[in-house]
A and B are shown apart, each in its own frame.
Chain A
Amino acid sequence: MSNDQAQIAYLITSICFILGIMQLRSPVTARRGNLIAAVGMIIAIATMLDTNHANNVLLIILAMIVGAIIGTAGGRMVRMTAMPQMVALFNGMGAGAAALVAGGGLVPSLLSNGHVVSSCVKAGRLISGDCGALTLQNTGGTIWAAVSVIVGSISITGSLIAYAKLQELMGSRPITFPFQNYFNLALLVVVIGLALSFVFIHALGPILALVAIGALAVGVLMVLPIGGGDMPVVISLLNSFTGVAAAATGLDVGIPALIVGGTLVGASGTILTILMCRAMNRSLFNVVFGAFGTIAVGAGPATKGAGAMVRSISPDDLAASLAYAHLVIIVPGYGLAVARAQQEVREMATMLEQRGVTVKYAIHPVAGRMPGHMNVLLAEANVPYSQLCEMDAINGEFEHCDVALVVGANDVTNPAARNDPSSEIYGMPILNVDQARSAVILKRSMNPGFAGIDNPLFYAPKSMMLFGDARASILKIIAALKEV
């Protein structure tokens, strides 16, 4: 295949990616969009394999088969509730590949010469000479390689820590130590400094290795202090990082399809990050450096909650009030995912609908552990997506709603975000569950949510609690509904 033909193939790939994302505008066409993007990917891979009949072809194909088996198996077997950690893991893999390609591309020249002739670097051009297979002609290349190594490395370990937290291999609470933020910032400055010295002064292999190690450490330290509820932001951010790393590698090695693909992902991750931050009324800086929730732990909740009365309701009573309601709004949260109760919730909703009750679902943008997590879980249970309402669309309806059923959500329903300027989450947009005629909260215990913030909704006169595992509780309600 000639270079021109290859370039046209990469153009087709880029167009496929763009068309694929365009089709994601509607649930009806979205699946086709994914397929189009996948076709684009296959075209690019085939083109690259065809233009490189040089070395290691067997090795490449073998590595691809291994990767394909692992990836396909992982993608097939993962439960929908575990989707966030799977996405985090795949993200880390992509970031690893990006950092390796950018860094690895420099290895031969660094090895054979000890270092790339620094006088040439100072002149702004790394002359290839006999530096091995892959060499660079100008520092433009190395700058992008350095960017890719830094951003990619941060994304590798960041994604792995996010995975560990989501998979509950480690606690999801923020992990903090004194002067953490200063330490992290200092480390980042050192990493960038080393990278600059690599690009402009001494293109030495060990320096690049230090840059990579430092960036890997930054990734760990950046995600460690971030709590479980902030995961939607972190996953979006890491996704955008990997996109940027891929785009930078594309600029480095000069493959336009890489630039387009990486940049699209970078843009997507950035937009989602902004949306998630806005949905929590917090800045990105605050999420990454805030170590949210550490202040309130142990102090606020107990004192505030102790005097207040909580009313509980039996599954039978709840079933009766649901059965005779006109409008029931279900507010799902991460607890629904943990209890894997989506199927049961759907079953209950169907029974209510058969009795003429209107059932809607109120989805907060940051409910769950990744953007849109609740929509996926409910779609898995075949809930029609016309019943899935965004926050702004449904908030006006709570006042007409007879029962608002909160299943495993907490902070996103906390009226303190609206009323209490002293609250940590003051200003965060919430679902107006407190305005419903009655609210029933399904909860395992009175423990506050991940942020350790007390929720006045629980003590409100119109609120009632149904304690227990969400799935078990819903099953009891279903049983009771059959007898109403």
Chain B
Amino acid sequence: MISLHPVLADSASTLSLTSYAYIFALAGFLGFVLISKVPSILHTPLMSGTNAIHGIILVGAIALCANAHGWISITLSTIAVALGAINVFGGFVVTDRILEMFRGSARGNASAKEAAHE
């Protein structure tokens, strides 16, 4: 059992290094499989959606800030929290806006089909 950051023990997990390696490798393969199935029409929302997902770094920033002592650490980690929050909120909001339009476009789809039936 190796904790990389002992002081973060209550916020970070205490898995072994090989467990992290497993998570990393499996997530990588899963990512390649999942994303290969996304059609090119949705590549922009995929990009902005994954953009929002890497905002998960916000969680790391919070952990750092909560354990920070001294003004340098506190300043750096506070900036990190703000940047991470911009990334998360901006990313999900933008993606939702894009996908909302695709729903509108789906309605257009339906009406086009109806028109074809008439």
Contact = CB atoms under 8 A, between A and B. Distances in A.
A441 B61 CA distance: 50
Contacts of B40: 275, 363, 365, 371-372, 375, 390
Nearest to A54: B66
A93 B11 contact: no
Given A94-B84, A137-B4, A384 B44 contact: no
B8 A254 contact: yes
A123 to B, nearest CB: 15
A126 B27 CA distance: 29
Interface string A439-483: 000000000000000000000000000000000000000000000
Given A27-B103, A56-B68, A21 B35 contact: yes
Interface in A303-328: none
B93 A71 contact: yes
A480 B115 CA distance: 24
Interface in A131-145: 132-138, 140-141
Given A70-B90, A97-B83, A385 B102 contact: yes
A254 B80 contact: no
A264 B98 contact: no
Given A27-B102, A78-B94, A260-B23, A105 B62 contact: no
A245 B86 CA distance: 17
A295 interface: no
Contact of B59 (A21, A45, A67, A132): A45
A282 to B, nearest CB: 18
Contacts of B115: 353
User: Which bucket holds chain A's interface residue count?
Assistant: 35 or more
B85 A262 contact: no
Interface in B46-96: 46-70, 72-74, 76-96
A256 B65 CA distance: 19
A363 to B, nearest CB: 7
Interface in A52-78: 52, 54-57, 59-60, 63-68, 70-72, 74-76, 78
A246 interface: yes
A103 B108 CA distance: 49
A233 interface: no
Interface stretch (A36-44, A178-186, A400-408): A36-44
Nearest to B5: A253
Q: Which of A103, A105, A141, A262 has the most CB of B within 10 A?
A: A105
B41 A265 contact: no
Interface stretch (A83-91, A284-292, A427-435): A83-91
A256 B13 contact: yes
Contact of A30 (B27, B45, B87, B91): B45
Interface stretch (A167-175, A266-274, A413-421): A266-274
A90 B91 contact: yes
Give the interface residue-count category, chain B: 35 or more
B67 A382 contact: no
A347 to B, nearest CB: 13
B89 to A, nearest CB: 3
A378 B102 CA distance: 9
Interface in B1-45: 2-15, 17, 20, 23-24, 27-28, 30-32, 34-45
A94 B91 CA distance: 10
Contact of B34 (A18, A90, A384): A18
A394 interface: no
A104 B77 contact: yes
Contact of A71 (B2, B15, B88): B88
Interface stretch (A187-195, A214-222, A234-242): A234-242
A48 B5 contact: no
A353 B38 CA distance: 30
A31 B103 contact: yes
Interface string A196-237: 000000000000000000000000000000000000000110
A255 B12 contact: yes
A111 B72 contact: yes
B43 A97 contact: no
A96 interface: yes
Given A100-B80, A254-B8, A382-B105, 13 more contacts: A10-B13, A34-B95, A41-B92, A51-B11, A70-B86, A97-B58, A97-B83, A100-B79, A136-B4, A250-B60, A252-B4, A256-B20, A372-B46
25 contacts: A10-B13, A25-B38, A27-B106, A30-B45, A41-B55, A41-B92, A45-B62, A51-B10, A56-B78, A60-B62, A60-B66, A60-B81, A63-B79, A87-B44, A94-B87, A96-B83, A100-B76, A108-B68, A134-B68, A253-B12, A255-B11, A267-B32, A272-B46, A363-B40, A372-B45
